Amino acid sequence: MLGICRTKASLTLQRLAKLNSFRALSSLGFTVMPKFALPSSNKHISTLSGISQHAIQRCSQWRCYASASSAGLSQDKITERVMTVIKLFEKISAEKLTIESHFMKELGLDSLDHVELLMAIEDEFGFEIPDQDAEKLNKPSDIIKYLCEKMEDRQYVCM
Amino acid sequence: MSASAASLSSQRQRVLSLYRQILRLARQWPGRPGVADPATEAAYIRTEAGTLFRQHKSLSDPVVIESHIAEAESRINLALHYNIPYPRMPNLPPGCLATPGQPKRRTARGMDDALPAYMKSYKSGYAPKIK
């Protein structure tokens, strides 16, 4: 009986981790999880805040996932942000722009415009793109793939 | 042929990395508190770099390109040192400019000679067209 409760609760916790906000997780964790459900805990669980301390510790493993997807770092969100930045760049006409359109050959940018565009993307996502990577990013799809890889390196999830 | 092509592409990379360096400077330009607004100066840096780099983008002689790279590097270093992005006003030697009573034929050349190497883009025949 206890074992079933434990596994059920931990499964629910994993499902809850995929939700988009930590607040939902913690509030549901408070109602769903009985206090003996955490497999590794023997400590007294305080219920002062309504959330068990071990719920918080366990949730911190999943916290970065939850905040990453809520902060807009899934592949769709990255695509959306990249395309918005590119559309706002005034030297590109929005009609010819697709995900696979080449900046220099199809959209008519020169290399200086390319540098400016990558600076705009650096500003949007908040980190610097080194020179040797920058010269390979010639299409919006290249940029999206590169950003997903960079986000994975930093232990965010690209779903 | 391959040597000049290789030197052109490595020059091209140096030019683009210089442009990137200038844009990154503009992003976090401190300005001079009370004297100069960082946003205005950052906008100046971006337009000046954009104008000057685009003006010379179709050059092909590697020696000339090298002198322009040196010009860009000097201007970057001066701007970082003095915290002023604008070029320093040059001194004209006395007797260089024509006066109403005394026409001079070598005025343009005198002014060009007075401009230092980091103002190469401002010499006669090169006046940047600011849009």
User: A–B: how many Cβ contacts below 8 A?
Assistant: 29
Task: Calculate how close chain A gets to B98, using CA atoms only, in Å.
Answer: 40
What is the per-residue pLDDT across B57-116, written as a single tens digit (0 to 9) for each?
A: 888 899 999 999 999 999 999 999 999 999 887 887 777 777 777 766 667 677 777 888
Query: B78: closest CA among B119, B131, B111?
Result: B119
Handedness of CA A62, A68, A70, A71 (dihedral sign): positive
Higher pLDDT, A69 or A148: A148
Rounded to two decimals, what is the model's pTM? 0.67
What is the reported pLDDT for B95? 73
What is the reported pLDDT for B20? 94
What is the reported pLDDT for A19? 47
- Ramachandran region of residue A53, left (φ > 0), alpha (ψ -120 to 50) or beta? alpha
Q: Residue type at A25? A: L
CATH number of domain containing A133 = 1.10.1200.10
Instruction: Judge whether B45 and B25 are in contact, CB under 8 Å.
Output: yes
In chain B, the residue whose alpha carbon lies closest to the alpha carbon of A123 is B27
- Ramachandran region of residue B19, left (φ > 0), alpha (ψ -120 to 50) or beta? alpha
Integer Cα distance of A1 and A85 in angstroms: 55
Higher pLDDT, B28 or A30: B28
Query: A146: closest CA among A138, B23, A66?
Result: A138
Residue A140: inside a domain: yes
Mean pLDDT of B40-49: 94
**Cβ A111–B27 below 8 Å, yes or no?**
no
Task: Calculate how close chain B gets to A13, using CA atoms only, in Å.
Answer: 43
Query: pLDDT category, B123, cuts 50, 70, 90?
Result: confident
**Cβ A119–B24 below 8 Å, yes or no?**
yes
In chain A, the residue whose alpha carbon lies closest to the alpha carbon of B55 is A112
What is the reported pLDDT for A158? 47
Q: Which of B12, B17, B23 sits opposite A116 (nearest CB)?
A: B23
- Residue A109: domain span: 75-155
How far from each other are the two terminal CA atoms of chain B, in whole angstroms? 37
Instruction: Judge whether A28 and A16 are in contact, CB under 8 Å.
Output: yes
Q: Which of A110, A119, A131 sits opposite B23 (nearest CB)?
A: A119
Residue A31: inside a domain: no
Higher pLDDT, A60 or B16: B16
What is the reported pLDDT for B33? 86
Average pLDDT, chain B: 83
Count structural domains, chain A: 1
Residue A143: inside a domain: yes
- Annotated catalytic residues of A are 110
What is the reported pLDDT for B124? 65
In chain B, the residue whose alpha carbon lies closest to the alpha carbon of A117 is B20
What is the per-residue pLDDT across A131-157, written as a single tens digit (0 to 9) for each?
A: 888 888 888 898 988 988 887 776 554
Mean pLDDT of A95-106: 85
What is the reported pLDDT for A4? 46
Higher pLDDT, B17 or A97: B17
**Cβ B27–A123 below 8 Å, yes or no?**
yes
Mean pLDDT of A80-107: 85
pLDDT at residue A13 tops 80: no
Q: Which residue has the tokens 């400016």?
A: A116
Chain centroid offset of residue A61 CA: 15
The percentage of chain B sitting over the pLDDT mark of 90, rounded to a whole number, equals 45
Q: Give contacts of B17 with chain A, Cβ < 8 Å.
A: 131
What is the reported pLDDT for B6? 53
What is the per-residue pLDDT across A35-62, written as a single tens digit (0 to 9) for each?
A: 444 444 444 444 444 555 555 555 444 4
Integer Cα distance of B103 and B128 in angstroms: 27
pLDDT at residue A11 tops 60: no
Q: Which of A110, A123, A134 sits opposite B57 (nearest CB)?
A: A110
